[in-house]
Amino acid sequence: MKPIIALVDMDAFLASVEQALNPDLIGQPVIVGGMPGTRGIVICASYEARRLGVKFGLPLAEAYRRLPRAYFLKGDIKTYRDFWAEICDIFDSFTPLVEPVSMDEAYLDLTGSIALYGSIEALTRSIKDIIRQRLNIRCSIGVGRSKMFAKIACGLAKTKAAGGGEGIAIITPNEEAIILNRLAADKLPNVGHKTRKLLAELGVHTVKQFREIPRSILIELFGKRGTEWYDYARGIDKREVKTSAIPKSISRETTFNADSIEQNFLRGTLYYLLERVCLELRRLSLQTRRVEVKIRYVDYQFIDQAQTLTTCADSEPEIFPTVMKLFSDLYTRKVGIRHLGITATCLLPSLKQFGFFDQQQERYSNLSMGLDKVRRHFGYHAIFYGKTMPLGDKFREVTDGYELRTPSLSL
């Protein structure tokens, strides 16, 4: 039997959760990210808001100018995580092969489940119906014989859902070649913005054009990734649904209410963001080998820089010197900063096997795990590093930390 892979994507997830919690918001334009008149960006917009010109990433001030009658909400990451956990439980009831991609999207291997439902159509409708009945939120489902075609199909399904359709799309093997030939090149897996620009400079805009590039040229231009794209352009995707997939990255970031050039406050914010990143690393039993710092200035200029660590790490004291070096290298303009972010990449399973010469790393790790334990019992502010003390005057204290401007990104 050929594999049957589905990608389930929750439609405007954060806004849909808010509508499920408050039925008065159903059918209304909902914007999650912050209140009108405050700094920040749109984290999620309901389809009603999207149809009226408000989408992810738009500054809140511009969103309010375009749609003053919308319902603006700050959002609550804990609530969204609870909903996502329930959704994952529903997925598990259909198949044990579930690979979450993010907090609103997951791949499901349905190959062994079809016999129970008779057809792909009946199975996907059952998934949608149960999510809708239990949680009163919608999802789009794309199905194909590989992750790539499931992703492409999901894009088609979301287009249907945005137009009021059923939100299900199935790509059969007979349709694959036709769909690939008319597909944009940046719809292939892992083709990002920079690669798309380079391909455009080469005159490559579609998958059909991409397929004309010899494998040797792709390898010369993109290394190992070139081999993958050579296969993807021909409809070959051997990736399996992995139930214990390691995320590609973990990031935390925030937008300030007011621009800042205050070094202690910026340093404290960076340390706090790193704490949240490291807390998630330790929760998932992962370590990072590479860290990135992002800065957005008051005039919206965006810059970022990454550096590889000398050893894999999951504790703040080990990583923070690298974070500060990156920040010092990046912060060259004497103007206010409105947004900071930290991302950990090159993630690997954590191996707590310290050698004779790793005593310092062992102390850092034990210290961080000890802090985690104390905070789980008594709350974040029961014990903390002095570096985060300047945040007390800027951010509101909550039980498990500080309430940052973009809670859906930063907690």
Integer Cα distance of 188 and 179 in angstroms:
12
Confidence of residue 411 (pLDDT cuts 50, 70, 90): very low
Between CA 224 and CA 280 the distance in angstroms is 29
pLDDT, tens only, 334-380:
899 989 999 999 888 775 543 333 456 666 677 777 777 777 767 77
Alpha-carbon distance 338 to 60, whole Å? Answer: 13
Residues 6+ apart with CB under 8 A from 113: 94, 95, 123
User: If you search the block for the tokens 């550096």, which residue do you land on?
Assistant: 307
Please answer whether residues 18 and 30 qualify as being in contact, where contact means their C-beta atoms are separated by less than 8 angstroms. yes
3-state secondary structure of 394: coil
What is the arithmetic mean of pLDDT over 292-303?
91
pTM: 0.69
Active site residue 105: yes
8 A C-beta contact, residue 192 and residue 214? no
Distance (Å, rounded) from C-alpha 191 to C-alpha 206?
12
Alpha-carbon distance 314 to 312, whole Å? 7
Domains and CATH numbers, the chain: 5-10+78-177 (3.30.70.270), 14-76 (3.40.1170.60), 184-232 (1.10.150.20), 249-410 (3.30.1490.100)
User: What gap in Å lies between CA 170 and CA 150, rounded to an integer?
Assistant: 8
Chain segment 149-168, per-residue pLDDT in tens: 999 999 999 988 877 788 99
Spatial contact of 92 and 8, defined as CB atoms under 8 Å apart: no
48, 16 in Cβ contact below 8 A? no
List the catalytic residue out of 105, 176, 275, 292: 105
Percentage, residues of the chain above pLDDT 70: 90
